Structure 1
């Protein structure tokens, strides 16, 4: 049997991606600025990690203009929610001793 540690999702290995998904799991939609402030990130750091999660199919990035200002929001996809929940379940298994 594969050891439990190998069941963790590598997409969530980095603390920023873990934080992004945690915030998105608790909220239906989060703006770029809100997510940046919540996680204390730079624009570039958030953009690169969000792009990695979007490429994996876990986050949907929605870009639009409000008046003349760009407005970017993020939502977790169904696949992203499922993958993150499985990641959390695996962490709980590890906490219980790898059952």
Structure 2
């Protein structure tokens, strides 16, 4: 099903666009992996994630790490169904603007 074109200024910001593009084909990804892949500081990524969670575009979960002996937990992030629709609609709007 083709997404309804809808330009989304929230997603259009470069860091948010890259984050959504990275997460789109995945169920979720480890926070540290996303930060490293996108070349972002954890503080910058945390702020971006928090903003998108507030909009309902992302979800986060924390769980015990099977690779750690201490009590620290790992965080995973993923696009929600709303986030996927918003991202797909934004891409459709960009394609439409480009005449594709």
TM-score range, shorter chain: 0.7 to 0.9
Structure that is richer in helix per residue: 1
Describe the superposition over 1:2-55 as per-residue Cα deviations: whole angstroms up to 9, x where unpaired.
xxxxx4101112111111100110211100111001100001000000011101
Q: Tell me the TM-score normalised to structure 1 length.
A: 0.86
Q: Which residue of structure 2 aligns with residue 78 of structure 1?
A: 81
In structure 1, runs of 5+ residues without a counterpart are 1-6
Mapped pair 1:49 → 2:52: no
Root-mean-square deviation (CA), in Å?
A: 1.3
- Identify the structure with bigger relative contact order (alpha carbons < 8 Å, sequence gap 6+): 2
Give yes or no for contact 1:21–1:76 (8 Å, CA) kept in 2: yes
5+ residue gaps in structure 2? 1-5
TM-score (structure 2 length as normaliser): 0.85
